Amino acid sequence: MVSTQAPPVENSGRQYLPSPIGKFKSISPNQQLFPLTTTVNDRDHMEIGGCDVVNLVEEFGSPLYILDEETLRTACRQYRDALAREYPGQALALYASKAWSCLAVCAIAASEGFGIDVVTEGEMQTAFKAGISPANIYFHGNNKSRAELDLAITSGCTVVADNWLELQTLAEISKTAREPIRIMLRMTPGIECHTHEYIRTGHIDSKFGFDPDQIDEVFSFISQQPGLSCTGLHAHIGSQIFELQPHADLGEVLARWFEKSASYGLEIKELNVGGGLGIRYTEADDPPSIEEWVKVVSSGIVKACEARNLPLPKLLCEPGRSLVGSACVTAYSAGAQKTIPGIRTYLSVDGGMSDNPRPITYQSLYRVVLASQMGAPLTETVTIAGKHCESGDVLIKDARLPKIETGDILVISSTGAYNASMASNYNRVSRPAAVLVGNGSADIILERETYEDLIRKDRLPERLIADS
């Protein structure tokens, strides 16, 4: 086994410098640049899960998402085991499936003892088909439709109420429901953290959740609704967070609301701290480990509840990116190059913003290697450009790489979260295939779209056919 934590490029002079790390259970996947099973084989090719990446591209095409099962399962187990070790009460980790909602990922998470966090009917239906019990599905979202609410309720999911319209709709539905509707309340905790403004959800100016000054009114309303069973409180402070203190502070905020709920006769039994633990996208990133995050979150809830003589609630958390992000890479084939003397060299690949919209959306940074020549010296500085008709379709600026020829295979790391799930058909491209690798074998978990798929839902009116 090898470590895939690459040293700073400028110090190593190489793309990748593996070193022994021992057993996977001691390594926090979110702190690694590449999946835990990554190695360099005797052909000087990158291998993941025992599979040669160049061979995978030859068989399945590119762009190609490559998901390492061992890394994903290791991350799941670290959350599960750390919660059992650090939290003295009941606990359940939920996979935040918005990171990547597909049958295989949801099924793996469920097989490791996880519940599922969903935000749309599509994610809910995926969780159902992956075999997840509705009792362990929590339905989020700031604008749930009546149809979505009906499906969640009749299926037995917990609805995380986000706003007044939704709460009033749930109260209306409950009048004819056969049994009380199980809900949680999403509150805005008012905690700032250092992350991109688009993924900060815990501060007051957010589209998500009830504001703290509404809590008495909300509790009062629910106490008068016999058809609503409010089982818990939820808060989430953001995403891709490297700081631990905001998560410690969240325990105090949740416990304060927990204590107040009793005066309204509510029987809160669960506190959900959300997710948000960051991952390593480049050498400069230094996120806490899964173990450290769970320890801080657990300690925060325990201390805050003990200070108020409150019974320990069931602790829920919702990791997404830190489960699947570092478990996946994306492989591309190199295409045209354009050198602008004194400015930069553009290297185009056969994907881009349609399979990874995060750089153009969040200015996100990534790490790239030449998977077909892992030991080659770094001699070039290139900007990795996508194939789309958009000047901003740039995946990585000024990457240090070996000399690249057309057809060489490039791999960008840490692409498991918000890549496949946010992929599009911009410029009418087909979305990539995804394979699950492990023990030397690869299984398709997402088929590559065909051009027939792209036009299957199109309809051409008869009058346009006649006009042509």
Residues with catalytic function = 389
Contact of 24 with 1, CB cutoff 8 Å: yes
Q: How far apart, in Å, do the first and last CA atoms of the chain sit?
A: 62
Tokens, residue 200: 């900060």
